[in-house]
Structure 1
Amino acid sequence: MAVVGRTTAGRRVLGYVSQGGYAAKTVVADRDLIVLPDAVSAGEALAVLVQGVTAWHLLRSVARIRPGETVVVHAAAGGTGSLLVQLARQFGAGRVIATASSKDKRALALGLGADAAIDGDAEGYRERVLDANQGRPVDIVLDAIGGPVLDSALDTLGYLCRLVTYGTSSGQPATAIAPSRLAVDTITVAGFWLVPLIARHGAAGTALNELLDLTAHHRLRPLVGAEYDLGRARDAHEDLLGRRTKGKLILRP
């Protein structure tokens, strides 16, 4: 969980904690702290540390995006998805296709730079994605939904393409994938979770520095959603589970 605070000298700092994020005060290791640029708000910084670094590694480290490729971003109005749409464009994607559950969320994704925004429901998914890509298979799918949506996403990939899973918000298991199915078109299916990466290398690093710089220069717009007093943490979780939120949710101590 990302936290923002001040040093005894009054400098704003951004930090990562694996526990203690629901407290008024917490202890953060030095390697997980970074001084914030003045041009980056606390809300933007909170979004960048967890969701932003996740998005950076999904595209750079795991999917290894190449210029001109078509990228499909699931849940594109969420904290990670909204940053994936923008970063895919920054990193040279030729076409970005966003999926979202409502018209206003799809409109938001288009406003962030997606070329097309479609309903992300599993039924009819393949047809909608291919239609949004002029009938061609896509190169990269970034999925945090899982279940039948992940199953359908596999059918949209072409030769030497990649699907990266980083969550299962649907709560449903995907169908087991036969290795022979992947071999036919040389498809890669990979996973990513931020916590082990931070445990090994700390929160600060190339990804976070680049993201903060992009934000400070208004080339990246982290979405700051609703803010809740710490005592309303349960409301925040219920809104999140009910898919009523956009962007990064903030708890204020």
Structure 2
Amino acid sequence: MKAIIVERQNGANALKLTDLPAPEPAAGELRVRVRAAAVNRTDIVTREGRSGYAVNPILGVEIAGIVEQAEEGSGFAPGDRVMGLVNGGGYAEYAVMPADRAMKIPAGYTFEQAAAVPEVFLTAYQTLYWIGRLQPGESVLIHAGASGVGTAAIQLAKTLSRAKVIVTAGSREKLDFCENLGADVLINYKEQSFEKEVLAATDGQGVDLILDFVGADYWDKNLESVKKEGRWVLIGILGGIQVEQVNLFALMSKCVQLTGTLLTPRSDDYKARLTADFVREVMPHMAAGEIKPIVDTVFPLEEAMSAQTHMEENRNIGKIVLSVAE
């Protein structure tokens, strides 16, 4: 089968298209003929050798395709259209997926749309609800609102909680897109001080919840933006990992709950439980067209490096997808 592996950490030829044997499913797994795979920040971190947990030589953690092999009693059969998280191996013509992480693709979805669902929507759902405990009518600040996770989080927060959604993004185009998805307050972080805008939009109280993709650069501003006894979930480090002059007392005095998380290194059991909850709580809204995946650009598999570069340059609105097969 055709597959993408890491040749070197950086550069135009960092990723290599090669031929490898198709994987054999273990007990409890499906073998899937991959039709599309999506690109994620974790793929870039893995390529650069910084993840510390990648064991599969083939990149890619989410796919959409057609079941080729399935165990009896798995709930799936050959020919089923599925999407879901994989333990690496997504940038390939075939992949194995734990059956308890597979989700049936909603009617009318293309494989490219389906591939844009698992990682970002499960991450957004996890951070908003499992960790962030967002309640109906609360306020949430979503940084990188036009990113894959951002566009998912906006829709989830509005549809499931009728929350007040405040987003940051770096261009008018991205902010307009967020507004069309339901965002209530739009902040251009390149032109505005987002902490001042957040306080103005919340009567000086701050938000109940922050989804933080940025990390170090936003530490002080996020601390100003979060409400007393609010929640702050760190899910990205686009702005660095080292915070200078941290005032822990300021964090303590506001009684803020700060949680760091990543989805990829979570256990198989955690991902299975999260998937089951997502299918129950969110998939009906997707089937009804109330929540939708946002696809920015589709690249052919052999242009995986160009797809990752597109993400590194922050040019995307929504998901970047690789088309693996027609």
Same fold (TM over 0.5): yes
Confirm whether residue 173 of structure 1 aligns to residue 242 of structure 2.
yes
Cα pair distance change 1:149/1:73, threshold 3 Å: same
For the residue of structure 1 that corresponds to 2:314, the secondary structure is coil
Q: What residue is the counterpart of 1:77 in the other structure?
A: 146
| Pick aligned residue for 1:116 from 166, 185, 193 | 185
1:111-156 CA distance string (max 9 Å, x none) = 1101111013497232122223344322111111112223311111
**Alpha carbons of structure 1 residues 15 and 88: separation in structure 2 relative to 1, 3 Å:** closer
Most deviating of 191-200 and 12-21? 191-200
Aligned residues: 253
Q: Match for 2:82 among 13, 22, 31?
A: 13
Instruction: Assess if the C-alpha contact under 8 Å between 2:154 and 2:178 holds in 1.
Output: yes
Indicate the percent of aligned positions where both proteins have the same amino acid: 29
Cα distance in 1, alignment partners of residues 138 and 103 from structure 2: 33
Deviation at 1:29, TM superposition (A): 2.6
Distance 1:35 1:175, change over 3 A: same
Residue 61 (str. 1) matches residue 130 (str. 2): yes
Distance in 2, matches of 1:69 and 1:251, equals: 36
CA drift at 1:51: 0.3
Structure 2 CA distance, aligned partners of 1:60 and 1:229? 34
Match of residue 63 from structure 2: 3
Q: Give the stretch that moved more between structures: 203-212 or 12-21.
A: 203-212
Quick one: distance in 1 between partners of 2:240 and 2:131? 23
Unaligned runs of 5+ in 2: 1-60, 69-77
- Out of 143, 153, 165, the residue aligned to residue 222 of structure 2 is 153
Distance 1:71 1:169, change over 3 A: same
Matched, 1:144 2:204: no
- Indicate which of 129, 133, 148 corresponds to 2:202: 133
The normalised TM-score by structure 2 is: 0.72
CA distance in structure 2 between the aligned counterparts of 1:176 and 1:47, rounded to whole angstroms: 38
| Structure 1, unpaired ranges of 5+ | none
Mapping for residues 1-253 of structure 1, pairs under 5 Å: 1-8=61-68, 9-121=78-190, 124-175=193-244, 177-203=246-272, 204-253=275-324
Give CA deviations for 1:55-103 in whole Å, capped at 9, x if unaligned: 1111111111122211100000111001111111123244111110111
How much is the aligned-residue C-alpha RMSD, in angstroms?
2.1
Instruction: Kindly provide the CA deviation profile for residues 188-231 of structure 1, in whole angstroms up to 9, marking residues without a partner as x.
Output: 11112112435233443111443322111011122111000111
Structure having the higher Rg: 2
Contact 1:143/1:150 (8 A) holds in 2: no
- Distance in 2 (CA, whole Å) between partners of 1:29 and 1:146 is 32
Instruction: For 1:186 and 1:236, locate their aligned partners in 2 and report how far apart those are by CA, in whole Å.
Output: 41
Q: CA deviation at 1:177?
A: 4.1
Question: For 1:134 and 1:125, how far apart are their aligned partners in 2?
Answer: 14
Normalised by the length of structure 1, the TM-score is 0.91
